[in-house]
Structure 1
Protein backbone atom coordinates (compact mmCIF):
# COMPACT_ATOMS: atom_id res chain seq x y z
CA UNK A 1 0.00 0.00 0.00
CA UNK A 2 1.45 3.37 -0.96
CA UNK A 3 2.11 5.52 2.06
CA UNK A 4 1.55 8.77 0.21
CA UNK A 5 1.25 10.10 -3.33
CA UNK A 6 4.51 11.99 -2.79
CA UNK A 7 6.35 8.71 -2.21
CA UNK A 8 5.02 7.36 -5.52
CA UNK A 9 6.18 10.51 -7.32
CA UNK A 10 9.61 10.26 -5.67
CA UNK A 11 9.96 6.62 -6.74
CA UNK A 12 8.98 7.41 -10.33
CA UNK A 13 11.38 10.36 -10.45
CA UNK A 14 14.14 8.20 -8.97
CA UNK A 15 13.48 5.43 -11.50
CA UNK A 16 13.45 7.94 -14.37
CA UNK A 17 16.74 9.43 -13.20
CA UNK A 18 18.29 5.99 -12.82
CA UNK A 19 17.22 5.04 -16.35
CA UNK A 20 18.80 8.21 -17.72
CA UNK A 21 22.06 7.53 -15.87
CA UNK A 22 22.39 3.80 -16.51
CA UNK A 23 20.98 1.17 -18.81
CA UNK A 24 18.41 -1.01 -17.09
CA UNK A 25 17.65 -4.58 -18.11
CA UNK A 26 14.50 -6.55 -17.36
CA UNK A 27 15.18 -9.90 -15.73
CA UNK A 28 13.23 -13.09 -16.26
CA UNK A 29 12.13 -13.21 -12.62
CA UNK A 30 13.16 -12.38 -9.07
CA UNK A 31 14.35 -13.93 -5.83
CA UNK A 32 12.35 -12.65 -2.86
CA UNK A 33 12.72 -13.30 0.85
CA UNK A 34 9.73 -13.63 3.14
CA UNK A 35 9.64 -13.45 6.92
CA UNK A 36 6.74 -14.75 9.01
CA UNK A 37 7.14 -12.66 12.16
CA UNK A 38 4.75 -14.86 14.17
CA UNK A 39 6.52 -18.17 13.48
CA UNK A 40 10.01 -16.70 12.99
CA UNK A 41 10.41 -18.52 9.67
CA UNK A 42 12.27 -17.18 6.66
CA UNK A 43 11.80 -18.49 3.10
CA UNK A 44 13.44 -17.52 -0.17
CA UNK A 45 11.13 -17.63 -3.18
CA UNK A 46 12.05 -17.59 -6.87
CA UNK A 47 9.32 -16.29 -9.16
CA UNK A 48 9.20 -15.80 -12.90
CA UNK A 49 7.66 -12.56 -14.19
CA UNK A 50 3.86 -12.90 -14.10
CA UNK A 51 3.92 -15.79 -11.62
CA UNK A 52 2.51 -15.88 -8.12
CA UNK A 53 3.26 -17.81 -4.97
CA UNK A 54 1.67 -18.26 -1.57
CA UNK A 55 3.65 -17.38 1.53
CA UNK A 56 1.66 -18.18 4.62
CA UNK A 57 -1.65 -16.34 4.26
CA UNK A 58 -0.49 -13.91 1.59
CA UNK A 59 -0.17 -14.24 -2.18
CA UNK A 60 2.73 -12.54 -3.95
CA UNK A 61 2.56 -11.72 -7.68
CA UNK A 62 5.70 -10.58 -9.52
CA UNK A 63 5.06 -8.10 -12.32
CA UNK A 64 8.66 -7.63 -13.42
CA UNK A 65 12.18 -7.24 -12.08
CA UNK A 66 14.79 -4.77 -13.40
CA UNK A 67 18.48 -4.32 -12.69
CA UNK A 68 21.45 -2.24 -13.90
CA UNK A 69 22.90 -3.76 -17.10
CA UNK A 70 26.47 -3.70 -15.81
CA UNK A 71 25.56 -5.24 -12.43
CA UNK A 72 22.99 -8.09 -12.61
CA UNK A 73 23.50 -8.95 -8.94
CA UNK A 74 23.24 -5.29 -7.93
CA UNK A 75 20.41 -2.91 -7.25
CA UNK A 76 17.39 -4.90 -8.40
CA UNK A 77 13.89 -3.51 -8.15
CA UNK A 78 10.71 -5.49 -8.61
CA UNK A 79 7.05 -4.60 -9.11
CA UNK A 80 5.00 -6.69 -6.66
CA UNK A 81 1.34 -7.09 -5.82
CA UNK A 82 0.69 -8.71 -2.43
CA UNK A 83 -2.77 -9.75 -1.20
CA UNK A 84 -4.06 -11.48 1.90
CA UNK A 85 -5.89 -14.76 1.25
CA UNK A 86 -9.50 -14.11 0.29
CA UNK A 87 -9.11 -10.31 0.09
CA UNK A 88 -9.29 -8.57 -3.30
CA UNK A 89 -7.66 -5.30 -2.20
CA UNK A 90 -3.84 -5.59 -2.20
CA UNK A 91 -1.96 -4.85 1.00
CA UNK A 92 0.96 -3.82 -1.22
CA UNK A 93 1.27 -2.86 -4.87
CA UNK A 94 4.38 -1.13 -6.13
CA UNK A 95 8.12 -1.22 -6.64
CA UNK A 96 10.43 -2.70 -4.01
CA UNK A 97 14.12 -1.90 -4.24
CA UNK A 98 16.69 -4.46 -3.11
CA UNK A 99 19.30 -1.91 -2.03
CA UNK A 100 16.74 0.18 -0.08
CA UNK A 101 14.07 -2.17 1.31
CA UNK A 102 12.81 0.45 3.78
CA UNK A 103 12.06 2.98 1.01
CA UNK A 104 8.78 1.31 0.01
CA UNK A 105 8.18 -1.67 2.33
CA UNK A 106 5.27 -4.04 2.80
CA UNK A 107 3.38 -2.73 5.84
CA UNK A 108 1.88 -5.91 7.31
CA UNK A 109 1.47 -6.97 10.92
CA UNK A 110 2.63 -10.57 10.32
CA UNK A 111 4.73 -10.73 7.14
CA UNK A 112 7.74 -8.97 5.67
CA UNK A 113 8.74 -9.47 2.04
CA UNK A 114 11.71 -7.96 0.26
CA UNK A 115 13.61 -8.28 -3.02
CA UNK A 116 17.04 -9.95 -3.07
CA UNK A 117 17.89 -9.95 -6.79
CA UNK A 118 16.58 -10.49 -10.30
CA UNK A 119 17.03 -13.74 -12.17
CA UNK A 120 18.47 -13.67 -15.66
CA UNK A 121 17.63 -17.13 -16.96
Structure 2
Protein backbone atom coordinates (compact mmCIF):
# COMPACT_ATOMS: atom_id res chain seq x y z
CA UNK A 1 0.00 0.00 0.00
CA UNK A 2 2.80 2.44 0.87
CA UNK A 3 4.61 1.58 -2.35
CA UNK A 4 1.47 2.33 -4.39
CA UNK A 5 0.97 5.67 -2.61
CA UNK A 6 4.61 6.66 -3.24
CA UNK A 7 4.32 5.70 -6.91
CA UNK A 8 1.22 7.89 -7.17
CA UNK A 9 3.03 10.87 -5.65
CA UNK A 10 5.94 10.42 -8.07
CA UNK A 11 3.53 10.15 -11.02
CA UNK A 12 1.83 13.45 -10.25
CA UNK A 13 5.12 15.20 -9.46
CA UNK A 14 4.66 15.74 -5.71
CA UNK A 15 7.69 13.65 -4.85
CA UNK A 16 11.13 13.68 -6.48
CA UNK A 17 12.23 10.67 -8.47
CA UNK A 18 14.57 8.31 -6.67
CA UNK A 19 18.24 8.82 -7.47
CA UNK A 20 18.39 5.45 -9.19
CA UNK A 21 15.76 6.62 -11.70
CA UNK A 22 17.78 9.64 -12.82
CA UNK A 23 20.02 9.30 -15.85
CA UNK A 24 23.69 9.72 -15.08
CA UNK A 25 26.78 10.27 -17.18
CA UNK A 26 30.32 9.16 -16.48
CA UNK A 27 33.24 11.53 -16.59
CA UNK A 28 36.84 10.75 -17.35
CA UNK A 29 38.07 12.37 -14.16
CA UNK A 30 37.28 14.40 -11.08
CA UNK A 31 38.48 17.43 -9.18
CA UNK A 32 38.97 16.67 -5.49
CA UNK A 33 40.08 19.04 -2.77
CA UNK A 34 42.20 18.16 0.22
CA UNK A 35 42.54 20.06 3.49
CA UNK A 36 45.51 19.75 5.83
CA UNK A 37 43.83 20.53 9.16
CA UNK A 38 47.16 21.31 10.84
CA UNK A 39 48.37 23.95 8.38
CA UNK A 40 44.95 25.01 7.10
CA UNK A 41 46.18 24.68 3.50
CA UNK A 42 43.87 23.35 0.78
CA UNK A 43 45.15 21.52 -2.29
CA UNK A 44 43.25 20.69 -5.47
CA UNK A 45 43.71 17.12 -6.69
CA UNK A 46 42.71 16.66 -10.35
CA UNK A 47 42.53 12.92 -11.10
CA UNK A 48 41.63 10.81 -14.09
CA UNK A 49 39.68 7.57 -13.57
CA UNK A 50 42.10 4.89 -12.37
CA UNK A 51 44.75 7.43 -11.41
CA UNK A 52 46.34 7.71 -7.97
CA UNK A 53 47.48 10.91 -6.24
CA UNK A 54 49.64 11.27 -3.17
CA UNK A 55 48.40 13.80 -0.61
CA UNK A 56 50.59 13.97 2.48
CA UNK A 57 50.66 10.43 3.86
CA UNK A 58 47.49 9.55 1.94
CA UNK A 59 47.08 7.79 -1.38
CA UNK A 60 43.86 8.79 -3.18
CA UNK A 61 42.55 6.60 -6.03
CA UNK A 62 39.63 7.60 -8.27
CA UNK A 63 37.53 4.66 -9.43
CA UNK A 64 34.73 6.54 -11.15
CA UNK A 65 32.98 9.93 -11.31
CA UNK A 66 29.31 10.39 -12.24
CA UNK A 67 26.96 13.34 -12.58
CA UNK A 68 23.31 13.90 -13.61
CA UNK A 69 23.20 13.65 -17.43
CA UNK A 70 20.79 16.56 -17.82
CA UNK A 71 22.86 18.97 -15.74
CA UNK A 72 26.65 18.45 -15.91
CA UNK A 73 27.37 21.41 -13.63
CA UNK A 74 25.24 20.01 -10.79
CA UNK A 75 26.03 17.37 -8.20
CA UNK A 76 28.95 15.01 -8.76
CA UNK A 77 29.67 11.79 -6.97
CA UNK A 78 32.91 9.85 -7.08
CA UNK A 79 34.02 6.39 -6.08
CA UNK A 80 37.24 6.78 -4.08
CA UNK A 81 39.69 4.61 -2.20
CA UNK A 82 41.89 6.50 0.26
CA UNK A 83 44.73 4.72 2.03
CA UNK A 84 47.13 5.76 4.77
CA UNK A 85 50.59 4.84 3.45
CA UNK A 86 52.25 5.22 6.87
CA UNK A 87 49.96 2.67 8.51
CA UNK A 88 49.26 0.61 5.36
CA UNK A 89 45.49 0.73 5.95
CA UNK A 90 42.48 1.79 3.87
CA UNK A 91 40.78 4.76 5.54
CA UNK A 92 37.93 5.22 3.06
CA UNK A 93 36.44 3.14 0.28
CA UNK A 94 33.13 4.18 -1.25
CA UNK A 95 31.20 6.98 -2.89
CA UNK A 96 31.55 10.66 -1.94
CA UNK A 97 28.90 13.15 -2.99
CA UNK A 98 29.92 16.74 -3.76
CA UNK A 99 26.78 18.32 -2.31
CA UNK A 100 26.89 16.25 0.90
CA UNK A 101 30.54 15.65 1.84
CA UNK A 102 29.68 14.77 5.45
CA UNK A 103 27.27 12.02 4.37
CA UNK A 104 30.14 9.72 3.44
CA UNK A 105 33.36 11.28 4.64
CA UNK A 106 36.99 10.43 5.19
CA UNK A 107 37.66 9.99 8.91
CA UNK A 108 41.22 11.17 9.55
CA UNK A 109 42.63 13.39 12.29
CA UNK A 110 44.83 15.45 9.95
CA UNK A 111 43.34 15.36 6.44
CA UNK A 112 39.98 15.92 4.77
CA UNK A 113 39.32 15.05 1.12
CA UNK A 114 36.11 15.82 -0.73
CA UNK A 115 34.68 15.94 -4.27
CA UNK A 116 34.33 19.26 -6.08
CA UNK A 117 33.20 18.17 -9.56
CA UNK A 118 33.57 15.67 -12.37
CA UNK A 119 35.98 16.62 -15.15
CA UNK A 120 36.28 15.51 -18.76
User: 2:25 aligned with 1:28, yes or no?
Assistant: no
1:39 to partner: Cα distance: 1.4
Q: 1: CA distance between counterparts of 2:88 and 2:55?
A: 16
- TM-score normalised by the chain length of structure 1: 0.81
TM-score (norm 2): 0.82
Q: Residue by residue, what CA displacement relative to the aligned partner does 1:4-56 show, whole Å, maximum 9, x if unpaired?
A: xxxxxxxxxxxxx3131x21001101000000001111011110000000011
Q: Which residue of 1 aligns with 2:38?
A: 38
CA distance in 1, matches of 2:75, 2:55: 24
Paired residue for 1:8? none
Any stretches of 5+ residues in structure 1 without a counterpart? 1-16
Is the counterpart of residue 113 in structure 1 residue 107 in structure 2?
no
For 1:70 and 1:84, the matched residues in 2 are separated by 36
Please tell me the root mean square deviation across aligned C-alpha atoms, in Å.
1.0
Q: Who is 1:18 aligned against?
A: 19
Counterpart for residue 53 of structure 2 = 53
Q: Residue 69 of structure 1 aligns with which residue?
A: 69
Corresponding residue pairs, total: 103
Q: Shift of residue 70 of structure 1?
A: 1.1
Q: Which runs of 5+ in 2 are unaligned?
A: 1-17
User: Aligned to 1:32, what secondary structure does the other structure show?
Assistant: strand
2:90 and 2:33 mapped to 1: Cα distance? 19
Task: State how far apart, in whole Å, the 1-side matches of 2:54 and 2:39 are.
Answer: 16
